[in-house]
């Protein structure tokens, strides 16, 4: 099996400009100077999928167009974009005119800060649930329409489903790539293959809801952060990822500059690991497939480096986002407490000033009464002396 894999992978490397029969080290030198020139993918499918993901996020203000972009994304890249449905739906929900107006009005009332106790807010907005159901239904309907159009073009024959969808989900092509699926499914026994497929693909269903409750529902930046995390998970759990997928993930993460500043040292360390693994991937491919001086573990070690550091990078991004949200929440709480104390002090000062003014207004009359009382006492003393 490894021999057949070597032949198919050699053809893949030849398609991207790598000639394993050359005696010179021109390929290795070019890889060291420009790693992504060797690691890039010529697949238009990935480029279209990335464009559609960005389009779905960019059209969040118009829920129908965002749902259409997601449906086409499912059509081009099966299954893994499932994690984008919830964040895109909530982003579309928050960008609606009525919701945005209410949020801006609440922010204006709080001078840009809004502190709400956890016991005073619900975990899920009830009016969002019908919107999520409608958004999901729209994605399913549009995806079904695309499948129906494809079946009509193919004269009712459904072989395209086997080649375009089932083969990707079942991971039938075990050509080496920067993902972990190919090596694991080479080693796994056939009777456990279905179990591993369900485990690898089914785990995607467990991430969107906890991430939404922890980060995504906290406006205004939470929905955007959740979308960035979802794109990272799509990259890490795709059966056939490419170097361009990791570049796309990093580009989306770098948009959230405040989160990068929150964990700049560890983020830079993980980023260095990802770039190192992607840079060494073509070299290890040449060692194993071209010169036949190594084995599959050489290449898989670099695959592990890329994916482990990619997972650490995404985990650090999530932790930094949670820390930043807690700091903002604490800052809003402290600001609210300080403003309440300042209002109380100002109110006490105004009350004291009003009391002092009232005392000043009443003081002349009090002085006259005191003088009269003193005069009466003096008259009484004088009368007693005369007696």
Q: What's the pTM value of the predicted model, to 2 decimals?
A: 0.74
292, two tokens: 């036949």
Q: Residue 211: is it exposed, middle or buried by C-beta count within 10 angstroms (0-12/13-18/19+)?
A: buried
Domain that holds residue 244: 2-321
Domain count, the chain: 1
Phi and psi dihedrals of 368, rounded to 5? Answer: -65, -40
| Residue 305 included in any domain | yes
| Residue 351 included in any domain | no
What is the structure's pLDDT at 310?
Answer: 93
| Residue 70 included in any domain | yes
What is the structure's pLDDT at 312?
Answer: 94
| Residue 115 included in any domain | yes
What is the structure's pLDDT at 378?
Answer: 67
What is the structure's pLDDT at 377?
Answer: 66
DSSP symbol at 121: S
What is the structure's pLDDT at 123?
Answer: 64
C-alpha dihedral (172, 174, 178, 180), degrees to nearest 10: 70
Sign of CA dihedral 287, 290, 292, 298: positive
Please list the pLDDT of the chain residue by residue as tens digits (387 residues).
333 334 444 444 443 344 444 444 555 455 555 555 444 545 667 777 888 888 888 787 777 888 888 998 888 888 888 999 999 999 888 887 555 555 555 544 444 445 555 555 666 778 888 989 999 999 999 999 999 998 888 887 888 888 888 888 888 888 888 888 988 898 888 899 999 999 999 889 899 999 998 888 888 788 889 999 999 999 999 998 888 888 889 888 988 888 888 887 888 899 999 999 888 888 888 888 777 777 778 888 899 999 999 999 999 999 998 888 888 777 776 777 777 787 777 776 666 666 565 555 555 554 555 556 666 666 666 666 666
Sign of CA dihedral 238, 243, 247, 253: positive
Q: Which residue has the tokens 């990822």?
A: 241
What is the structure's pLDDT at 385?
Answer: 63
| Residue 353 included in any domain | no
Cα angle 307, 309, 314 (rounded to 5 degrees) comes to 90
| Residue 361 included in any domain | no
| Residue 71 included in any domain | yes
What is the structure's pLDDT at 356?
Answer: 60
Q: Which of 313, 242, 306 is nearest to 278 (CA)?
A: 306
| Residue 238 included in any domain | yes
């Amino acid at each position: 099996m490894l021999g057949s894999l070597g032949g198919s992978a050699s053809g893949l490397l030849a398609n991207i400009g790598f000639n394993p029969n050359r005696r010179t080290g021109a390929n290795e030198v070019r890889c060291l100077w420009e790693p992504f020139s060797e690691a890039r993918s010529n697949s238009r499918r990935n480029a279209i999928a990335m464009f559609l993901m960005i389009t779905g996020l960019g059209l969040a203000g118009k829920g129908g167009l965002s749902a259409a972009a997601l449906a086409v994304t499912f059509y081009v890249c099966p299954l893994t974009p499932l994690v984008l449905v919830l964040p895109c739906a909530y982003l579309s929900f928050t960008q609606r005119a009525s919701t945005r107006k209410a949020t801006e009005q609440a922010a204006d009332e709080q001078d840009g800060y809004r502190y709400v106790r956890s016991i005073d807010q619900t975990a899920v907005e009830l009016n969002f649930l019908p919107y999520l159901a409608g958004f999901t239904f729209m994605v399913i309907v549009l995806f079904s329409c695309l499948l129906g159009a494809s079946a009509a073009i193919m004269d009712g024959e459904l072989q395209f489903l086997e080649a375009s969808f089932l083969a990707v989900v079942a991971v039938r092509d075990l050509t080496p790539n920067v993902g972990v699926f190919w090596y694991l499914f080479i080693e796994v026994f056939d009777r456990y293959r279905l179990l591993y497929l369900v485990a690898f693909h089914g785990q995607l269903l467990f991430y969107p809801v906890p991430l939404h409750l922890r980060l995504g529902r906290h406006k205004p930046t939470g929905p955007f952060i959740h979308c960035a995390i979802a794109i990272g998970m799509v990259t890490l759990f795709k059966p056939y990822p490419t170097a361009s997928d990791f570049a796309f993930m990093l580009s989306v993460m770098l948009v959230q500059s405040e989160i990068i500043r929150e964990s700049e040292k560890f983020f830079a360390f993980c980023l260095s690991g990802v770039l190192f693994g992607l840079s060494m991937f073509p070299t290890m491919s040449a060692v194993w497939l071209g010169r036949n001086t190594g084995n599959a573990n050489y290449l898989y070690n670099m695959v592990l480096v890329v994916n482990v550091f990619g997972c650490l990078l995404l985990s650090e991004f999530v932790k930094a986002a949670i820390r930043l949200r807690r700091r903002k929440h604490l800052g809003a709480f402290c600001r609210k407490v300080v403003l309440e104390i300042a209002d109380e002090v100002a109110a006490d000062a105004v009350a004291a000033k009003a009391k002092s003014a009232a005392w000043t207004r009443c003081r002349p009359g009090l002085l006259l009464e005191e003088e009269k009382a003193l005069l009466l006492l003096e008259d009484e003393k004088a009368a007693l002396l005369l007696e």
